[in-house]
Structure 1
Amino acid sequence: MSSYFPKIEDVRKAAITIRQVADVTPLTQSIRYSKAYDSNVLLKREDLHRVRSYKIRGAFNKISSLDPEQLVNGVVCASAGNHAQGVAFACNHLGINGTIYMPSVTPKQKVEQTKLFGGDWVTVVLEGDSFDDSSKAAKEFCSLNQKTFIHPFDDPKIIEGQATVGLEILEQSKVPIDYLFVAVGGGGLASGLCAVFKTLSPQTKIIGVEPEGAPSMKTSIQKGQNTELEHIDKFIDGASVKRVGDFTFNICKEYLHDMVTVPEGKVCQTILDLYNRDAIVVEPAGALTLTVLDDYKEQIKGKNVVCVVSGSNNDITRTAEIKERALLYGKLKHYFIVRFPQRPGALKQFVAEILGPNDDITHFEYSKKSSKENAPAVVGIELTCPEDLAPLVKRMKDNNFFGEYINDKPDLFQYLI
């Protein structure tokens, strides 16, 4: 396993195999990001596939490689969404029965799209709270029914299929690529890109990007061995796994120039900016590579930079949470336990004298208890700039309204909010 490294001839074969289902996605310059970072920022729009992510590449390449007996028996996979859609589409296109396990917390939009792409050829099973839970259940089902497991990232044919992204970038780019940023979940796409660029463009620095709450590849590289995380934040579901692949770890630890993480809240702000300013819809994992550019603004100045926009399977019902996380990260949304005196006019005084002229109450929970002098309320306040927080807290304390600031108390925050 440790000796596996994708061969360019196998990647080229994969490119031919997937032509029937995967169009060549655009490589376009982002005027806004190029101007912001004084560089030439190109976006590889993998979000524009018919299944709205690059996962169709690896899934179709793997399933197409199976022998006739395996195809008749059918396939099984586990996925947080994008790999599931790729497998579903491949099953429908090739007329193969598939069973797809997805975590019970998978956004409804991804579940429905998987069923749509799979049609009558696919059965979706919601199992477990994370990809790892679903994967375990899928493998057990697979062994009991003698079906072939289609791994989402840790398989040579999957990696070679994802690697075709790199071939396209090099064919499309009119300039040498200095930096290539890629999102890392299990590491299949990053491994494939490492293989292509190591062979065809070795001067390109490849930067892997993970969510701060699920740093499985970064942790493994730092420790020098593939390490399973005990707990992860599953918000960026397309790039949150407890353990990366063995094939992918061995490739990434050797050939990634750097492996970094970005905060989930900052990713949320990128999602909102892309939608509002560029009319681009991305899922959280799809925004990772653009979010990290701030951390490399000095290195990439004057350079040619490619960011892989990996997917756009975002559920509109998550918009409120995305906005909330962005505001919390930007220190514009703050929650307090406010001690309101139980007298007429207390709330009016709070609004008129305590809040700043541009502060806005966005959350309020209060229950009057007549036997007490003060009654607590949970109050959420949105500010226009982070610097407004200190004066607000001072006014609350000076007028005996301040109870407790709960943004920095995660257990209490989770319980109350």
Structure 2
Amino acid sequence: MAGPARTLKSGTRHARKPAAKTMAAAGMPDLIPSDNSYLQRILNARVYEIAKETSLTPAKNLSKRLGNKVYLKREDEQPVFSFKLRGAYNKMAHLSAEQLAQGVICASAGNHAQGVALSAKKLGCRAVIVMPVTTPKVKIDAVQGHGGEVVLFGDSFSDAYGHALELEQAQGLTFVHPFDDPDVIAGQGTIAMELLRQHPGPIDAIFVAIGGGGLISGVAAYIKAVRPEIKVIGVQTKDSDAMVRSVRAGKRVQLSDVGLFSDGTAVKLVGEETFRITRALVDDFVLVDTDAVCAAIKDVFEDTRSILEPAGALGVAAVKQYTASHGCKGQTFIAITCGANMNFDRLRFVAERAEVGEHREALFAVTIPEERGSFKRFCELLGPRSVTEFNYRISDSAQAHILVGVATQKREEAAKLARAFAKGGFDALDLTDNELAKQHVRHMVGGRSELARNERLYRFIFPERPGALMRFLSTMHPDWNISLFHYRNQGADYGRILVGIQVPRGDNAALRDFLASLNYPFEDESNNPVYQLFLR
């Protein structure tokens, strides 16, 4: 490859590149032979025979929070809810009649598959789609709904890709590559053509998700040919960063494994052509984690009432991270929301992790003395802060270990809370960035306890307002002990709480009075077989 390799770091600034006409003089490689430039390919792409021009939507709430103008290029509005339709159709529209009659094949995690299947339906040809077994069912169903023949193989795109090449040879099909093909790249580049027409004013940077590199290659090729002053910033997840590693190494690097949360960008090895273009034209890269992506999905929902898939939210997550690390104010950023094929079951996980990703929740393991009043004293220490989760089960006669989530406004608050706990005499461990705690342990606190004698189990509905828990604790008899407590804020007006209370046998009347005075709806679960099997 001509020109020097550049070492890039996530979130770092780089000097602006020269205009397209002076790139060769600057040591940059030509994009493609001069008689067949990518600019010409993009201008002549046949995407609008099937794809639509998508909206450029202001993200008003996010813009206000960040102090910058943020726009969303809404590729989730396409008929297949992804930008992939553009490149797939442009490639297939350029095939010969003989090739179309024989049929096409592709390998895809889902979005390219839907693009190929719908394109084949419009062009009247057969389409065989090889998909990883990890592909969400919503994408498999969508491909089959467009008439595609689905073959499930392997755990990632790379596995499916190898199998598709075997089927291509065996059945005489034409392979439609999801990213490493000039016609596919040109089809994706029409997104940049649209957004510059929709926003002719100043743009500081465009944030583009990277899987195999087809989208960012097309966008960068057009932007740098027409508006080279605009930065093109690539985004990958920390566990699927093949392009970033490749650019840093100056050669394509194959990952041994990839994270599957953002399945649309789970690519072990980027394309040869996409690597060449990306290395030459992309200004910077940002790596984001799962929690940041979940928070970005929530941000887009709050601004548009649309739900993106993880890959579709990478650009938004990167805008937030980039503005925070660079202190940007008053600038204009565009994030390409490249897909919305979300498996509905994932929403539970997204909602759980979004608050952490937005630094709106801190998670702690706190040790308190196992004595009456310590729980109340701990809650008083929290003050007016909202508790998002509370898990506790009596297990030791001297100490109690509780897992507590607390609503925060910024990352620094977690450290401040930890110091406050220590000052109050409670040892605290910050678990906000602990994957084991966030994914598993927070759901597993509990179990049987020999110390839970005379325990009664109640399920309460608390109003979600400050003071509800303290009212409960203040009303409870001082001689009673809380032996189990579980609460998780689910975003509703009312919180559901499970409480174990150790009540002496002679205090049944006082217990009835206590429950009546609270005026909280409750159920006595002391005889529930699940309680008897797992907690008693």
TM-score range, shorter chain: 0.7 to 0.9
TM-superposed deviation, 1:361: 3.9
Query: Does residue 203 of the first structure (1) align with residue 232 of the second (2)?
Result: no
1:382 alignment partner, one of 390, 405, 430: 405
1:302 alignment partner, one of 326, 330, 353: 330
Q: Deviations over 1:21-66 (max 9, x none)?
A: 1111112333233333443332211111111111100000111111
Query: Does residue 322 of the first structure (1) align with residue 331 of the second (2)?
Result: no
Q: Deviations over 1:253-291 (max 9, x none)?
A: 110111221122111111112213432321111211122
TM-superposed deviation, 1:179: 1.6
Unaligned stretches of 5+ residues in structure 1: none
Query: Does residue 220 of the first structure (1) align with residue 258 of the second (2)?
Result: no
SS in 2 for 1:157: helix
2:85 alignment partner, one of 24, 37, 56: 56
Q: Distance in 1 between matches of 2:328 and 2:399?
A: 54
SS in 2 for 1:383: strand
SS in 1 for 2:106: strand
Contact 1:28–1:44, Cα closer than 8 Å, also in 2: yes
TM-score by length of 2: 0.67
Aligned to 2:494: none
Q: Distance in 1 between matches of 2:348 and 2:288?
A: 20
Query: Does residue 143 of the first structure (1) align with residue 169 of the second (2)?
Result: yes
Residues 325-344 of structure 1: matches in 2 within 5 Å? 325-329=353-357, 330=359, 332=361, 334=363
Contact 2:300–2:306, Cα closer than 8 Å, also in 1: yes
Number of residue pairs matched?
399
Aligned to 2:120: 91
TM-superposed deviation, 1:231: 2.5
Q: Deviations over 1:82-117 (max 9, x none)?
A: 11111111111111111112222222222222222x
Structure 1 residues 27-36 or 216-225, which shifts more? 27-36
* CA shift in 2, pair 1:244/1:395, >3 Å: same
Contact 2:319–2:335, Cα closer than 8 Å, also in 1: no
TM-superposed deviation, 1:19: 1.4
Q: Deviations over 1:309-334 (max 9, x none)?
A: 11111122111111222244437263
* CA shift in 2, pair 1:234/1:226, >3 Å: same
User: What letter is aligned with 1:158?
Assistant: V
Query: Does residue 12 of the first structure (1) align with residue 35 of the second (2)?
Result: no
TM-superposed deviation, 1:405: 7.5
Contact 2:206–2:232, Cα closer than 8 Å, also in 1: yes
SS in 2 for 1:85: helix
Of the two structures, which has the highest relative contact order with CA contacts closer than 8 Å and spacing of 6 or more? 1
Contact 1:152–1:158, Cα closer than 8 Å, also in 2: yes
Q: Distance in 1 between matches of 2:48 and 2:306?
A: 25
Query: Does residue 270 of the first structure (1) align with residue 270 of the second (2)?
Result: no
Q: Distance in 2 between matches of 1:200 and 1:268?
A: 34
Aligned to 1:112: 141
SS in 1 for 2:330: coil
TM-score by length of 1: 0.84
User: What letter is aligned with 2:140?
Assistant: V
Unaligned stretches of 5+ residues in structure 2: 2-28, 444-536
SS in 1 for 2:63: helix
* CA shift in 2, pair 1:411/1:316, >3 Å: closer
Q: Distance in 2 between matches of 1:360 and 1:410?
A: 18
1:164 alignment partner, one of 190, 193, 198: 190
Q: Distance in 2 between matches of 1:30 and 1:413?
A: 29
* CA shift in 2, pair 1:3/1:226, >3 Å: farther
* CA shift in 2, pair 1:25/1:406, >3 Å: closer
* CA shift in 2, pair 1:223/1:375, >3 Å: same
Aligned to 2:270: 244
TM-superposed deviation, 1:69: 2.3
* CA shift in 2, pair 1:135/1:339, >3 Å: farther
Q: Distance in 2 between matches of 1:231 and 1:225?
A: 18
Contact 2:209–2:312, Cα closer than 8 Å, also in 1: yes
User: What letter is aligned with 2:168?
Assistant: C
TM-superposed deviation, 1:72: 1.8
Contact 1:335–1:407, Cα closer than 8 Å, also in 2: yes
Q: Distance in 1 between matches of 2:263 and 2:198?
A: 30
SS in 1 for 2:44: helix
Q: Distance in 1 between matches of 2:313 and 2:273?
A: 25
Q: Distance in 2 between matches of 1:382 and 1:407?
A: 9
* CA shift in 2, pair 1:302/1:327, >3 Å: closer
* CA shift in 2, pair 1:276/1:223, >3 Å: same
Structure 1 residues 283-292 or 148-157, which shifts more? 283-292
* CA shift in 2, pair 1:241/1:176, >3 Å: same
Which has the higher Rg, Structure 1 or Structure 2?
Answer: 2
TM-superposed deviation, 1:367: 10
* CA shift in 2, pair 1:152/1:350, >3 Å: farther
Contact 1:175–1:304, Cα closer than 8 Å, also in 2: no
Q: Deviations over 1:97-150 (max 9, x none)?
A: 11112222222222222222x23xx11122222222222222222222221111
SS in 2 for 1:196: helix
User: What letter is aligned with 1:279?
Assistant: R
Aligned to 2:477: none
